[in-house]
């Protein structure tokens, strides 16, 4: 697939790949084609054994200012149902490898929802998060009422969704929406370094651990603990478990094979 609205790049960090949303004039508004490209690129990297961790970013001014309002403005409900472009977004949930969002500037509406679909968020000092859909006559449609509420709690989520107020990186950090704030000039480098630390871990264990954490949002504690235990046991079938524990005993660095 030829990419028009995203860039996929290797990085100087082993196992870390970078995807950039690349519609700068439109503040990376997420159009249909761009989302298809993003899903495609994520799926390709998920299947590529040289990739362990993915960083998703925009640019300094905008991670993404939301779904493309101009593209959907004249749609009817039936158009929306038929096009069903947002089903594509759901495929991002199925990516097994860890995804780090490196957010600077605006992360609004679908852009905020996209960042929340990632596993962790590294934000620049100038990042702003918001769900302003209410101001254009709709409401969040890709997780803004659910993932945001789970992340920041009912009071703040309700305020953001009902008033459209943006929150700063500082407020997002205090509320538990993001992992870390870094200076704007180096936000991407810092996110890549953060991803590089993760990429040093055993790839299979990363994937099963990610799966288990995400399962906690879908299930009871009892079922979640059961799921966790099964994934834990499953890792004892991997060469990396033998290597990791042997390396500990022999006081050396482990060499991961991802199997
Ligand atoms: N869509 C299309 N174009 C956008 C855009 C967007 N979301 N955001 C910005 N742009 C365009 C502007 O129209 C402008 O284009 P030109 O006029 O130059 O052609 C250019 O980007 C620069 O924007 P501004 O001139 O407005 O820049 P400012 O710095 O003055 O303001 C701003 C920046 C981010 C505050 C402002 O652009 C803004 O308010 N943008 C809209 C933010 C917004 O309302 N976002 C939510 C969109 S609705 C669903 C899944 C997802 C969604 C829905 C359903 N399902 C699963 C069902 C998601 C919905 C949304 O995200």
Distance, CA 66 to ligand 1 centroid (Å)? Answer: 5
**pLDDT over 90 at 249, yes or no:** yes
**pLDDT over 70 at 162, yes or no:** yes
Mean pLDDT over 156-171 rounds to 98
- 109 pocket-lining for ligand 1 (C-beta < 6 Å): yes
For residue 211, the model assigns a pLDDT of 98
Residues with Cβ within 8 Å of 54's Cβ and at least 6 positions away in sequence, in order, are 16, 17, 18, 19, 42, 45, 95, 97, 98, 99, 100, 195
- 141 pocket-lining for ligand 1 (C-beta < 6 Å): yes
For the stretch 78-128, pLDDT in tens is: 988 888 766 788 899 999 999 999 999 999 999 999 999 999 999 999 999
Mean pLDDT over 200-217 rounds to 98
For the stretch 31-62, pLDDT in tens is: 999 999 999 999 999 999 999 999 999 999 99
Mutate which of 27, 105, 114, 164 for ligand 1? The one with the most ligand atoms within 8 Å of its CB, which is: 27
Q: What is the 3-state secondary structure (H, E, C) of the chain?
A: CCCCCEEEEECCCCCEEEEEECCHHHCCCECHHHHHHHHHHHHHHHCCCCCCEEEEECCCCEEECCECHHHHCCCCHHHHHHHCCHHHHHHHCCCCCCEEEEECCEEECHHHHHHHHCCEEEEECCCEEECHHHHHCCCCCCCCCCHHHHHHCHHHHHHHHHHCCCEEHHHHHHHCCCCEEECHHHHHHHHHHHHHHHHCCCHHHHHHHHHHHHHCCCCCHHHHHHHHHHHHHHHHHCHHHHHHHHHHHCCCCCCCCCC
Two tokens, residue 174 = 């205090």
| Domain residue ranges of the chain, discontinuous segments joined by + | 6-199, 203-250
For the stretch 165-194, pLDDT in tens is: 999 999 999 999 999 999 999 999 999 999
Confidence of residue 195 (pLDDT cuts 50, 70, 90): very high
Mean pLDDT of the chain: 96
For residue 86, the model assigns a pLDDT of 66
Distance, CA 152 to ligand 1 centroid (Å)? Answer: 23
- Which atom belonging to ligand 1 lies closest to the Cα atom of 69? 1
For residue 81, the model assigns a pLDDT of 85
For residue 152, the model assigns a pLDDT of 98
Domain 6-199 of CATH type 3.40.50.720? no
For residue 83, the model assigns a pLDDT of 83
CA distance 169 to 256: 35
Distance, CA 24 to ligand 1 centroid (Å)? Answer: 12
Closest CA to 62 of 129, 135, 145: 129
For residue 10, which phi and psi values (nearest 5 degrees)? Answer: -80, 165
Active site residues: 67, 110, 113, 133
- 132 pocket-lining for ligand 1 (C-beta < 6 Å): yes
For residue 115, the model assigns a pLDDT of 98
Distance, CA 30 to ligand 1 centroid (Å)? Answer: 9
Architecture of domain 203-250: Orthogonal Bundle (1.10)
């Amino acid at each position: 697939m030829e990419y028009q609205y995203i860039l996929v790049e290797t990085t100087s960090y082993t196992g870390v790949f970078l995807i950039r949303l690349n519609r700068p004039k439109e503040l990376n508004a997420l159009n249909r084609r761009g989302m298809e490209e993003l899903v495609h690129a994520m799926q390709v990297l998920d299947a590529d054994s040289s990739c362990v961790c993915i960083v998703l970013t925009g640019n300094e001014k905008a991670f993404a200012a939301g779904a493309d309002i101009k593209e959907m403005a004249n749609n009817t409900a039936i158009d929306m149902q038929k096009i069903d472009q947002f089903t594509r977004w759901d495929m991002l949930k199925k990516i097994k490898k860890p995804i780090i969002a490196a957010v600077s500037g605006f992360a609004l509406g679908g852009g905020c929802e996209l960042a929340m679909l990632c596993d962790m968020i590294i934000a620049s000092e100038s990042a702003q998060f918001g769900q302003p859909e209410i101001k254009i006559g709709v409401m969040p449609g890709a997780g803004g009422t659910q993932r945001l509420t789970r992340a920041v709690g009912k009071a703040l989520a309700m305020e953001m969704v009902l008033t459209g107020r943006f929150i700063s990186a500082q407020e997002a950090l205090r509320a538990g929406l993001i992992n870390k704030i870094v200076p704007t000039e180096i936000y991407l480098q810092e996110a890549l370094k953060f991803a590089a630390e993760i990429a040093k871990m055993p790839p299979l264990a990363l994937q099963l651990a990610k799966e288990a954490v995400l399962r906690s949002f879908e299930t009871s504690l009892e079922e979640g603990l059961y799921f966790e235990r099964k994934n834990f046991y499953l890792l004892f079938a991997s060469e990396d478990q033998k290597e990791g524990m042997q390396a500990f005993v022999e006081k050396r660095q482990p060499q991961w094979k991802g199997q």
